[in-house]
Each structure stands twice: as C-alpha cells, then as structure tokens.
C-alpha cells in the first residue's frame, strides 16, 4: 500500500515513530508529513532513517522537480491518508476545509475513493467541547473517512479521562485490517477459542485452544471488506483487543457449550458463511454449587453430552449459506475425516492434528501454536495435507469460501 502518514502536534506524536516502523516493515510505501506542531517534537530525518519513502515539513514548497504541485502529486499517489495523532486544531481544519500546511492541503485534494483514517488525541475537555464534537461529526460524514475513538487513561496533562491516542499495536492492526476494496458487506460468523465445562464454583474442564485461528480468519475477511461476528471463549477474548475498534467487527464472548450454542443460534440467520473453528467441550458435568470437598469426591464423576453446536446449526442451514467445520484429533486420516463428515456434513472440513502435551511424551501440537498439520477434506476426499501456519490456512479458507461470498 501507498500510505501518507500525517503527524500533527499532539504530545502523543512520538508514537508515530513506532507506527512508521511497523508500516514500513509490513512492506508499505510510507510518506510522512509533519505539521508545525509535530515539528516541535520530531525531526523529519528520523522517518527517513526508519525507511519512509519521503518525509515533509509543514511549510515545504509545493513546487517539485517534475513541475507537479506537491499536494496534488501526493494526493494522487497515496492509497491511504492516515492522520495519527489528529489534534483538536487539525480536526477543526480538516472538518471545515481549511488549510494550514501541506497535510491539510493534501486532504482537500484527495479523491473521494481514497481511504482516510483519523486517530484523534487531545485533552478530555477539548474532546467534549461542542465545537470539536460538531467537527468530528463533519469529518465522519466525509466519504471513505473513518474517525476512530480515543481511549481512556492518564493524559499528558496528568488528568484522567478520554482523549488518549489508541495504542500503536491497535492502530497498526486497524490499518492492516481496513478494507482494501469497497466493502462487500457479506456477513461472516466465526466461532473460535475454547468453551469450559464447569464442575463446581472453582473447577472446570477445558482445552488449550487459543483462538489464534479465529483471529487470522477475522483479519483476512475484514481486510477484504466483509463484516465479521466472532464468538470466542472468555479466556481468549483479550486476543481480539486490537481489532475491537474496527467498525466491521463484533466480538461476543461465551463460557460454556450452551453459551456458544445460544449466541451462534442468535447470529446464524444473517450470516452468509459460518466457520466453526472453536474447540467446544463435548461433555458437561452435573454442576455443583460451592466447591466439592475432597471427602465428598468419589472415584467417578457423572458426565453427560454437551450440545453439539455445529450439528445443531446444520439443521438450520440454508442452500445459500456456507458451513466450514474443524475437526481436532490426535491422529488424522481419510477414515476419521470421512466419519466426521458423515456426522456433520459441512461444505468444507479442516482436520487439525492436536495434542495438549500435558501428559503424553509428545510435544504440544496445534494448540497455542502458530502452525499445525492440517488436512483439508472436501468432496469426500483429502485435497490437502501438510504443515501450515495460521495465516496460510486463513488464506486457503478465504479462497475456498468465495463461492458463498460472490
């Protein structure tokens, strides 16, 4: 991508250094433009050392060796125009079509299809000022412009409240998952992570599923303009904190298998594609209030079958919906996957070789790892078998899912 990063005079402008480094390391072409306020804190050459294509000062001459006007040239060149941080002063200029420097002039020259992402940072009282609120609304109404929220915390002035710039990792993730094309507006439902089966108020049964597969899938579909609703276990919800501010992303947490069933049922009808990647517990206990005491424990514990979420959802499947299932097993072969598919006839079945590593001599496989051995089962046969990282797996699933998204 070709990115213009317009850095303005908030005290948090120092964070643009780390953001530039991350964007350059991703392979993007980055041109940095500083406002006069930002120049008081930062040296323009620093961004060149970080790998920026160019770096400009606020009052740089608009002339260019090629005789092109600089703000027009840059406006044509970029794919993304990112303001980070966006001060109250800059927001007022952008909202009212006023120019004070190279950055605000580029903004006026951007074609309507250019993506404009704005990350504000200012004092809480400034953020709550009626004039700023009106200007934020004006900016939000501009085509292909998205204004992200601030976070609460300790501000540079020492006060506590809203107005703090989002963390750099969050901003980086939001830029990386922003649609590269106009939104396709297909609805993707993904379940991921692990459920728990509570025994009493203290103990529960679960597995080490991290939710990483769901994260990579969500990022891939968001990046391609789709709306993603993701259901995850309570102990993996923090994994998705970096994309929770994405306007096309909705996060739902679930504890038990029953919770997964309930929220999946509530969201399945409006979904074009359901990817059942969660490691949902197969069993349930007769739950006991309080903590079971040692002298009350016997050598056996009564268990029952927990709801099979995917099997229940397949009963409601429409012809225009795609269902992708996951099968996590310690050993995988054609016979096992055929049996899995006969039980739950999904459109695509992803077999994952897993081992918790808790008691066996084998190392942990699949769980909490960035790669695993996968077998892809479709048309009642294995069409792929091998080692993939979760990014590669998400790309394969995305390509195979196009039949339900076009």
Instruction: Give the closest residue to 121 by CA, choosing from 16, 233, 231, 10.
Output: 10
Q: Extract the tokens encoding 344.
A: 């739950």
For residue 85, say if its preceding peptide bond is cis, omega within 30 degrees of 0.
Answer: yes
Inter-CA distances, 337 with 192, 351, 366, 373, Å: 20, 7, 17, 14
What is the DSSP secondary-structure string of 332-352?
A: --HHHHHHHHHHS--SEEEEE
Q: Extract the tokens encoding 69.
A: 């006007």
Q: Extract the tokens encoding 151.
A: 């976070």
Distance separating alpha carbons of residues 96 and 138, to the nearest angstrom: 8
Q: Based on the number of CB atoms within 10 Å of its own CB, is 138 exposed (0-12), middle (13-18) or buried (19 or more)?
A: middle
Of 13, 157, 244, 281, the active-site residue reads 157
The set of residues, in sequence order, having a beta carbon less than 8 Å from that of 322 and lying 6+ positions away, is: 272, 273, 274, 347, 348, 401, 403, 404, 405
Q: Is 281 a catalytic residue?
A: no
Q: Extract the tokens encoding 201.
A: 């108020």
Instruction: Return the beta strands (E) in 89-142 as ranges.
Output: 115-120
Angle at which helix 390-400 crosses helix 212-223, to 10 degrees, equals: 50
Residues forming the active site:
157
């Amino acid at each position: 991508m070709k990115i213009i990063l317009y850095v303005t005079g908030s005290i948090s402008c120092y964070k643009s250094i780390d953001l530039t480094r991350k964007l350059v390391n991703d392979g993007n072409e980055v041109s940095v433009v500083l406002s006069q306020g930002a120049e008081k804190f930062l040296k323009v050459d620093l961004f060149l050392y970080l790998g920026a294509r160019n770096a400009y000062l606020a009052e740089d001459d608009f002339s260019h060796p090629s005789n092109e006007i600089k703000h027009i040239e840059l406006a044509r060149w970029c794919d993304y125009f990112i303001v980070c941080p966006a001060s109250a002063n800059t927001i007022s200029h952008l909202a009212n079509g006023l120019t004070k420097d190279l950055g605000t002039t580029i903004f006026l020259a951007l074609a309507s299809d250019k993506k404009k992402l704005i990350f504000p940072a200012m004092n809480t009282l400034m953020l709550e000022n009626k004039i700023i609120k009106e200007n934020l609304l004006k900016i939000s109404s501009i085509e292909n412009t998205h204004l992200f929220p601030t976070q609460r915390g300790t501000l540079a002035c020492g006060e506590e409240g809203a107005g703090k710039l989002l963390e750099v990792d969050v901003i980086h993730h939001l830029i990386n998952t922003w649609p590269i094309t106009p939104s396709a507006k297909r609805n993707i439902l993904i379940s991921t992570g692990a459920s728990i089966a509570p025994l009493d108020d203290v103990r529960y049964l679960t597995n080490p599923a991290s939710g990483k597969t769901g994260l990579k899938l969500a990022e891939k579909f968001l990046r391609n303009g789709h709306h993603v609703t993701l259901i995850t276990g309570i102990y993996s919800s923090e994994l998705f904190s970096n994309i929770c501010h994405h306007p096309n992303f909705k996060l739902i947490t679930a504890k038990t298998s029953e919770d997964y069933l309930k929220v999946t049922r509530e969201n399945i009808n409006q979904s074009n594609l359901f990817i059942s990647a969660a490691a949902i517990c197969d069993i349930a206990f007769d739950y006991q209030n309080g903590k079971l005491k040692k002298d009350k424990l016997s050598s056996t514990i009564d268990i029952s079958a927990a709801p099979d979420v995917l099997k229940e959802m397949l009963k409601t499947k429409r012809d225009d919906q795609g269902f992708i299932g996951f099968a996590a097993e310690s050993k995988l072969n054609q016979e096992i996957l055929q049996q899995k598919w006969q039980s739950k006839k999904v459109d695509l079945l992803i077999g994952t070789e897993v081992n918790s590593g808790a008691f066996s001599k084998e190392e942990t496989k699949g769980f909490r790892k960035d790669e695993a051995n996968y077998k892809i089962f479709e048309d009642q046969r294995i069409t792929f078998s091998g080692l993939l990282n979760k990014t590669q797996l998400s790309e394969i699933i995305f390509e195979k899912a196009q039949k339900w998204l076009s």
